[in-house]
Amino acid sequence: MWADVHCHFDYFENPAEIIVAAEKAGVKRIIANSTTLEGLHKCLALKMQFPKIISVALGYHPTHIFEDSASKREETMNHIIQHASEAIAFGEVGLDFDEQTSKEEKELQVAIFKKFILLSKEFKKPLIVHARGSRAEVLRILQEENAQKVLLHSFVCKEKQMKDLLKTSFFVSVGAGVLNSEWIQKFAQELPLEKLLLETDSPLEFSGEQCSSVWIPRIASKIAELKGIQAENVQKAAEKNFQALFGKN
Ligand SMILES: [Zn+2]
């Protein structure tokens, strides 16, 4: 069984078509991650339509938090809590910082991220975490708040941070970036199989091509090639890790 643990079906125009094609390619489990209130409802509707293959992670993408009004933020969080039992995880959540991010926005992102860590413990569901421009902060907060079940999505780091990462129980999902980014390739090569899951972050584009869950076996083959092992071993490890992290949900 292949699984795509991180994608955004609410952004696809033709989700049903993609799901059928993915299933044909052997991708039997897909976690549709929501990033907004509107996306949450679309993801839940898709799960109703394809209950065997689609699971839903409910989240609030850090880049949307500050642009929403306070009442919209409250409504979004309330909906997430209300539908938590229908979700396999909370995601996409996390921190997204760049030079333009104000102190006020950073504080708000951190406050909501901490709320999700609490929800994760309360509902005993994993977190699917985004970290852009914030890798050290994300790792620090997750550990300070004693987060237990964590998937770091599209996480990539250098040697020193890899050491910190290896001390945690966190899993990491590698996506289509591994097909052409040397940095991600080096990271994937070093990441132990015991931590590896596979994702697409679709419908993101890579080298001008819109990716989808159908790409999962291709991503796995590339990782296998980098590690000098059979794709089957990558599949087995990813399947085992999927069960360990999401199995009971
Ligand atoms: Zn994403």
Instruction: Tell me how far apart the alpha carbons of residues 6 and 128 are, in angstroms, rounded to a whole number.
Output: 8
| DSSP 8-state code for residue 10 | G
Average pLDDT over residues 32-60: 96
> Prior bond to 67 cis, omega within 30?
no
User: Mean pLDDT score of the chain, rounded to an integer?
Assistant: 96
Q: How many residues does the chain have?
A: 249
User: Residue 96 and residue 212: Cα distance in Å, rounded?
Assistant: 23
DSSP 8-class letter at 179: G
Q: What percent of the chain is modeled with pLDDT above 90?
A: 92
pLDDT at site 13? 87
How many angstroms separate the alpha carbon of residue 199 from the centre of ligand 1? 9
Whether pLDDT at 10 is above 90: no
Q: How far is the CA of 240 from the centre of ligand 1 (A)?
A: 22
Q: How far is the CA of 24 from the centre of ligand 1 (A)?
A: 23
Q: Which domains does the chain have, with CATH numbers?
A: 2-246 (3.20.20.140)
Question: In this predicted structure, what is the pLDDT of residue 249?
Answer: 67
Spatial contact of 36 and 76, defined as CB atoms under 8 Å apart: yes
CB-based burial label for 103 (10 Å; 0-12, 13-18, 19+): exposed
Give distance in angstroms: CA of 192 to centre of ligand 1. Answer: 22
Per-residue pLDDT tens over the stretch 152-205:
999 999 888 999 999 999 999 999 999 999 999 999 999 999 999 999 999 988
The per-residue pLDDT for range 112-157, each reduced to its tens digit, is: 999 999 999 999 999 999 999 999 999 999 999 999 999 999 999 9
Q: What is the CA radius of gyration of the chain?
A: 17
